[in-house]
Amino acid sequence: MSELTKGERTTEIRPPVDIEATEEGVRLLVEMPGARPDALSVSVENDILTILADREDGLQGMKIWHRETETGTYRRSFRLSRDLAREGIKAELRHGVLTVEVPRAEHTIPRRIEIEVGK
């Protein structure tokens, strides 16, 4: 076994994502252990939702003989359907999991039409 040198394994990391349909819209659960909150961004441009974050290297200053975790930048992108709103997207990072809530677009929400009764 040889010792790894700092910076040897920096790469773009494709984190696993679970996508759930909810009554309110869509929920993405993105596994991002070690994501630095100050280097995390969620953005929408041209109907593309992009998630970016730098991953902290918790092994700095140690002699590393074997490594299975990657360092680098988390990146995932998703094309939003027209049935999802671009406004009102919320994101929360907790315990290494980023939860992104994308609400349904107004035109997809069922509404009841009031019927006027003539006299």
Can you tell me the mean pLDDT for 25-36?
94
In a domain, 48, yes or no: yes
In a domain, 33, yes or no: yes
**Residue-wise burial string across 57-74, b where 16 or more C-beta atoms lie within 10 A, e elsewhere:** beeeeeeeeeeeebbeeb
Range of the domain at 84: 15-58+73-108
Q: Is pLDDT of 23 > 60?
A: yes
The tally of domains found in the chain comes to: 1
At 80, which CATH number?
Answer: 2.60.40.790
In a domain, 63, yes or no: no
In a domain, 103, yes or no: yes
Q: Any idea what DSSP says for residue 104?
A: B
In a domain, 3, yes or no: no
In a domain, 78, yes or no: yes
Q: Which of 44, 31, 51 is nearest to 80 (CA)?
A: 44
Residue 2 has a pLDDT of 33
pLDDT tens-digit map of 74-106? 999 999 999 999 999 999 999 999 999 999 998
